[in-house]
Every structure is written in C-alpha cells, then in structure tokens.
Amino acid sequence: MSKYDDLREKQIGSEEVFDGVILHLYKDTVELPNGNSATREVIRHVGAVAVVPVTDKGNVIIERQYRYPFDEVITEIPAGKLDSPTEDPLQAAKRELSEETGYSADEWIDMGIYIPTCAYCDEKIYMYLAKGLHRGEQNLDDDEFLHVEELPLPELVDQVMNGQITDGKTQAGILKAARILKI
C-alpha cells in the first residue's frame, strides 16, 4: 500500500489501433480510482538514447536534422532508437554517436532517464554525457540526412534559455551537462 494508491488506474481492455514501424498505438480502457471507466490512447515505443558529446575544448557536437512533423530543421543532440527493447542503452548510445557523427568517446557519464511524453507514450530516452572524444568516420543510413556541427556549451545554454533551441531532450541534456561541467 503506497501513499499514491488512490491515484492508480486498472486496465480493463486494450485494442491495437496501429502497428507501425516506429509507433504502435493502442486504445485501452481503464477503471479510474472513482470506479468510472475512461479511454487511454497509448503509444508503445522501443525506447531511445541521447548523448551530449563534449570535446576537450568544451564544444558540443550537435546535429541539424529535418523533422517532418514540424517541416523544419531542428537542432538536436545525437540520439536514436534502441535496436530492440532489450538492447543495452550504453551500447546503443555508442553506436548512435559513432554512426551519426563519427565520434567515439573514452568517458560515458549516465545522465539518467528522460521521458518525453508520459501522458500518452511509454518511450524512455537514456541520456549520457560523453567526454574524451575521438573523431572517426560518420556512417549514416542511405536514407538518413543530417548536418553535424560543433558549438561551445555556453552558447548552447544561451540558446536553450533564449528559446532558440526547442527540442526537449536537447534542452534537458544541455542544461544537465552544463550543471555537471559547472558552466
């Protein structure tokens, strides 16, 4: 019996609405704490990783990527989906950093879990700070397009604070890294 037991909902039905490549959408029915029933639209997602890679000079490797839902090029820290729900997140982070930017890193600092949208999607993003970077070859998929750039961490903090950087994982990742590195 926890102090939050009066908030819990109980699943009483589940219907798969869409089984996509990235998104798996369910329309579930739940029993609320007051006994009423309600509908929950839920996306099931495999999970993802994100990395704040910081060079010895204090620059961050970032990506400019076209994001279809916004019809805009968005500034983001390197990130990507897990290959499977059981993939080790740190291995996935190393793979995504290497494939998207060409960099590998000597030091990996766990920055915890970041949940993008707890109301309707079960995606978890495992977030890391990577230091001791070594430049190698980028290895994008044939149908993957992005620019890799390098910006000083203090400048990225300013861009988070003045609203230029809108991507949520990038806001949280940059501000966490700045606290860890005392910027």
| DSSP 3-state of 158 | helix
SS3 state at 44: strand
**Scanning residues 44 to 73, which ones bind a copy of itself (CB under 8 A)?**
44, 64-70, 73
Determine if 42 is a binding residue for a copy of itself (CB under 8 A). Answer: yes
The stretch near a copy of itself (CB under 8 A) out of 52-60, 90-98, 113-121, 131-139 is 113-121
Q: How far is the CB of 22 from a copy of itself (least distance, A)?
A: 5
Whole-angstrom Cα distance, residue 178 to residue 117? 23
**Site residues for a copy of itself, window 152-171 (CB under 8 A)?**
157, 160-163, 166-169, 171
Piece in contact with a copy of itself (CB under 8 A), picked from 9-17, 86-94, 95-103, 128-136: 9-17
* CA gap 160, 179 in Å, rounded: 14
Question: Which of 101/171 has CB closer to a copy of itself?
Answer: 171
Q: Which of 162, 179, 182, 163 is nearest to 127 (CA)?
A: 179
Positions 80 through 109 that interact with a copy of itself (CB under 8 A) = none
Q: Which of these ranges, 51-59, 82-90, 96-104, 121-129, lies near a copy of itself under the rule CB under 8 A?
A: 121-129
Q: 100, exposed or middle or buried, with CB in 10 Å at 0-12, 13-18, 19+?
A: buried
- Kindly give the interhelix angle for 153-161 and 168-180, rounded to the nearest 10 degrees: 130
